[in-house]
Amino acid sequence: MRPNTQPSSPAARVPPLSASELLELDAALSSRARRLRVHIREDLQRRHSASADAMTEQVRRLEDESSVDADVSLAGLEREIEELRDIAAARLRVMTGRFGVCTDCGQAVGHARLSAYPTAKRCIECQRAHEKMHSA
């Protein structure tokens, strides 16, 4: 779907968010952001608690399997930071009145989709088109 186009069928249209739904989703975003910040802070503190020399020695002794675990741990931290960025963008959309509005077609994203994925910025139809276009 191209930006600023309407969904192809009336059935694809969903009602806009009510004020109570918006408050509920904003609270969920805020809560998730707090949990992520705490987890990221704790993870970074654990990483920095060891001295540079001790960390260098640990790296020398790591077996391949352990280094894969370290890579996975770092990837997890990166995913959490990216999720925190997505939450900040969603909360900005809340403040500007654009939360729950598809960034591609301008139609409502829908409460059910936002309840499952509160940082969604596209309606399901536009998201499918986006994924199809970017999967090649």
**For 22-31, how does the pLDDT look when each residue is reduced to its tens digit (9 = 90+)?**
999 999 999 9
- Please, which pLDDT band fits residue 96 given cuts at 50, 70 and 90? very high
- C-alpha closest to that of 12 among 88, 102, 72, 74: 102
Alpha-carbon gap, residue 7 to 129, rounded angstroms: 11
Which residue has better confidence, 45 or 126? Answer: 126
On the question of pLDDT at 51 being above 80, the answer is no
| Residue ranges covered by each domain of the chain | 10-134
Which residue has better confidence, 55 or 33? Answer: 33
On the question of pLDDT at 116 being above 70, the answer is yes
- Please, which pLDDT band fits residue 9 given cuts at 50, 70 and 90? very low
**Domain range 10-134, CATH class:** mainly alpha
Alpha-carbon gap, residue 74 to 90, rounded angstroms: 24
